[in-house]
């Protein structure tokens, strides 16, 4: 009798352990599914709210509202229809990526459904409905529009396609060998492996897990795993996980016979062996009680230890043959139980490791993006930003939230837009990476920064370009250094030219001065020979005066070449300026009038006239 009680206790403890592992596995699956659905809804909601905060569409002109909604549909493929409504729930503008009929159905559904409330207090998510044309699950997201004083002015509503949930539940149903489905707060099916039941808008509130969610939608995320009749009418082991936002739940059901198949097989086999040997032991107990006492006590103690948590304990195979066989069967059953426990634990651990590896990978990627010195960005094929790294704010000053959703031409210099458009078209049309496009980008302070960019196209499974990924580097300092280098080289070249001209001028001045000395010498001799001939003397004096003026020119050339000997004299500045007025007029050009007003009391200065001329001409 005691052996039967012991066997029952052992099976009970093993059942509890197996049930806990099944519960952990189902919770992990439900959490993965819920995280996927919740992340999808949250991502679209945040994207819509960010776009609405960038620009207030209610205050815009009617044609601009239309373009605003069309641009909104272009940012996110999951958005099918969009509408802008004022605070009185009147539609100001609408846009659709489908037919006009679909757009009218969306407008009617938005204004005529009493279950859809205005989002004056915050974001609103409508109940799920099925598109009669495409049989796809849809939901309406509504985000309030507020002015600068946070006053409610209306809202932007989009129709979101939830078809991806069907694929998700199909994959998870195959994985758990059961059924995974999504329900709303009223118990209506949103996604299920049997699409016909979803299209019928079937209500499954009769299912125990769904009923518990309806009664306690904010219950613990680790709801109890229970035995009940599932959605398919079969006995299942199931649980649910509320999403909170939106107000849905993911239900995971595993067929009962599959969940406990291994337990039942091993349990019945072990129980059969156990009972068989127990009967045999009962028949022989009278004859060999003493021989069996010690091994059975050990067996009992080991079983008690296993029930207390010592899963690795085993019974030593000793004593009579019957007791040894019983111990062997007991050890075999324990080993099978341990192996089953280890397999379930390994599956759960693998799931946890995969989630942790994914989280660490995302964190490493985010750290690289946030700390990179280059700007990493993505563009849609029409040139609209869908992502920019924080380096944009560090290098250009614009907040990241302001840039996302805008066309790149808003920041690129107008003279460089055509070049950038051609570069983007080349990358998207060829599918091959390109690099070294140089253009100017506007800083928040109004200055222009030089950038160079490289990028490539991301292709879908069909080989078409989905979007563009680029890396931009600020090369403003390099450009400025190159321009400064070119300027210095030009100045050096000009200085070399001026030095060469000075040398040439000095040589010409020396030669010309020597000829002038000869002319002046002969003029003096002729003047001596022509003494008494006043007419000839006047002519000779005119020649000497011209030669003196030419000598003045040679002194200026020598001063320019820095080879003249400095000869300071007492100089009247009024007379000096009057003598050089004609030369100055020729230097400054005919389109400028030179007016000379002499000083009444200028006085004299002692300096070289040639150097004074050089100062004046410079």
Residue-wise pLDDT for 91-100, tens only, equals 889 898 888 8
d(CA 138, CA 190): 9
Characterise 153 by phi-psi region: left (phi > 0), alpha (psi -120 to 50), beta (else): alpha
pLDDT, position 6: 56
Could you tell me where the beta strands, DSSP code E, fall in 120-278? 124-125, 129-130, 137-146, 152-161, 178-184, 189-191, 226-229, 235-242, 248-255
Q: Which one is predicted more confidently, 81 or 530?
A: 81
d(CA 600, CA 354): 99
Q: Which one is predicted more confidently, 308 or 552?
A: 552
For 54-82, what is each residue's pLDDT tens digit?
Answer: 878 888 888 888 888 888 888 888 888 99
User: CA angle, 49 as apex, 413 and 122 as ends, to 5°?
Assistant: 155
d(CA 481, CA 232): 75
Best-predicted range by mean pLDDT among 36-40, 349-353, 573-577? 349-353
d(CA 510, CA 512): 6
Q: Place 115 in a pLDDT band, splitting at 50, 70 and 90.
A: low
If you write DSSP's letter for every residue of 524-585 in order, what string do you get?
A: HHHHHHTTT-HHHHHHHHHHHHHHHHHHHHHHHHHHHTT-SPP--EEEEHHHHHHHHHHHHH
Q: Which one is predicted more confidently, 504 or 143?
A: 143
Q: Average pLDDT, stretch 30-40? A: 77
pLDDT, position 398: 93
Say if residues 325 and 315 touch (Cβ distance below 8 Å): no
Q: Which one is predicted more confidently, 200 or 474?
A: 474
Residue 422: both structure tokens together: 């051609």
- Cα-based torsion angle of the residue sequence 506, 511, 513, 519 in order, rounded to the nearest 10 degrees: -170
Residue 270: both structure tokens together: 């072990």
The per-residue pLDDT of the chain, averaged, comes to 80
Q: Place 404 in a pLDDT band, splitting at 50, 70 and 90.
A: very high
pLDDT at position 244 over 80 = no
Classified by CATH at the fold level, domain 13-40+165-259 comes out as Beta-Lactamase (3.30.450)
CATH 3.30.450.20 fits 55-162, yes or no: yes
Q: Average pLDDT, stretch 447-457? A: 94
CA distances from 338 to 7, 302, 342, 373 (A): 16, 14, 6, 54
Three-state DSSP string of 196-211 = HHHHCCCECCCCHHHH
Q: Which CATH number fits domain 373-474: 3.40.50.300, 3.30.1330.180, 3.40.630.40, 3.30.450.20?
A: 3.30.450.20
d(CA 403, CA 401): 6
Q: Average pLDDT, stretch 207-232? A: 80
- CB-based contacts of 152: which residues, under 8 Å, 6+ apart? 87, 120, 144, 145, 146
pLDDT, position 309: 62
Q: Average pLDDT, stretch 469-496? A: 89
pLDDT, position 382: 92
pLDDT, position 450: 94
pLDDT, position 380: 94
pLDDT at position 109 over 80 = yes
Q: Average pLDDT, stretch 553-564? A: 65
Q: Place 445 in a pLDDT band, splitting at 50, 70 and 90.
A: very high
pLDDT, position 75: 84
């Amino acid at each position: 009798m005691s052996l039967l009680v012991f066997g029952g206790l052992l099976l009970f403890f093993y059942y509890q352990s197996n049930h806990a592992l099944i519960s952990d596995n189902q919770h992990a699956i439900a959490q993965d599914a819920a995280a996927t659905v919740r992340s999808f809804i949250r991502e679209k909601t945040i994207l819509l709210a960010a776009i609405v905060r960038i620009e207030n569409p209610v205050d815009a002109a009617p044609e601009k509202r239309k373009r605003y909604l069309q641009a909104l549909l272009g940012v996110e493929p999951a958005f099918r229809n969009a509408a802008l409504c004022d605070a009185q729930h009147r539609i100001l503008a609408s846009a659709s990526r489908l037919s006009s009929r679909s757009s009218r159905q969306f407008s009617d559904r938005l204004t005529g459904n009493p279950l859809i409330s205005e989002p004056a207090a915050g974001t609103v998510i409508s109940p799920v409905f099925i598109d009669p044309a495409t049989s796809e699950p849809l939901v309406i997201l509504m985000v309030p529009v507020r002015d600068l004083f946070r006053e409610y002015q209306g809202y932007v509503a989009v129709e979101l396609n939830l078809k991806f949930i069907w694929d998700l539940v199909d994959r998870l149903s195959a994985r758990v060998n059961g059924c995974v489905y999504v329900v709303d707060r009223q118990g209506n099916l949103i996604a299920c492996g049997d699409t016909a039941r979803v299209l019928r808008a079937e209500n499954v509130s009769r299912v125990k897990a769904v009923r518990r969610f309806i009664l306690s939608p904010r219950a613990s995320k680790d709801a109890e795993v229970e035995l009940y009749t599932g959605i398919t009418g079969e006995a299942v082991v199931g649980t649910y996980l509320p999403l909170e936002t939106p107000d849905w739940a993911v239900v995971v059901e595993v067929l009962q016979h599959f969940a406990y198949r291994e337990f039942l097989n091993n349990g019945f086999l072990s129980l059969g062996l156990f009972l068989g040997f127990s009967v045999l032991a009962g028949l022989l107990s009278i004859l060999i009680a003493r021989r069996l006492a010690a091994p059975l006590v050990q067996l009992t103690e080991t079983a008690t230890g296993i029930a207390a948590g010592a899963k690795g304990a085993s019974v030593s195979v000793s004593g009579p043959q019957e007791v040894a066989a019983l111990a062997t069967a007991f050890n075999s059953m324990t080993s099978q139980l341990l192996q089953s426990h280890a397999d379930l634990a390994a599956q759960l651990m693998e799931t946890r490791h995969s989630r942790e590896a994914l989280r660490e990978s995302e964190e490493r990627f985010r750290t690289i993006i946030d700390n990179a010195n280059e700007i990493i960005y993505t563009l849609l094929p029409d040139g609209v930003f869908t992502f920019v790294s924080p380096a944009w704010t560090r290098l250009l000053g614009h907040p990241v939230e302001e840039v996302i959703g805008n066309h790149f031409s808003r920041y690129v210099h107008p003279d460089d837009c055509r070049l950038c458009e051609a570069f983007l078209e080349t990358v998207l049309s060829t599918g091959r990476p390109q690099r070294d496009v140089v253009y100017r980008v506007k800083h928040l302070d109004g200055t222009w920064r030089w950038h160079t960019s490289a990028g490539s196209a991301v292709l879908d499974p069909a080989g078409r370009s989905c979007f563009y990924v680029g890396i931009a580097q600020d090369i403003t300092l390099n450009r400025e250094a190159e321009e400064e280098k070119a300027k210095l080289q030009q100045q050096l070249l000009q200085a070399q030219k001026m030095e060469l001209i000075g040398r040439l001028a000095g040589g010409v001045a020396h030669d010309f001065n020597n000829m002038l000395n000869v002319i002046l010498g002969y003029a003096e001799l002729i003047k001596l020979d022509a003494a008494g001939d006043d007419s000839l003397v006047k002519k000779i004096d005119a020649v000497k005066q011209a030669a003196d003026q030419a000598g003045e020119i040679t002194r200026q050339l020598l001063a320019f070449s820095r080879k003249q000997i400095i000869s300071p004299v007492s100089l009247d500045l009024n007379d000096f300026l009057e003598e050089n007025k004609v030369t100055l007029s020729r230097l400054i050009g005919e389109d400028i009038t030179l007016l000379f007003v002499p000083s009444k009391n200028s006085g004299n200065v002692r300096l070289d006239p040639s150097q004074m001329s050089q100062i004046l001409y410079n």
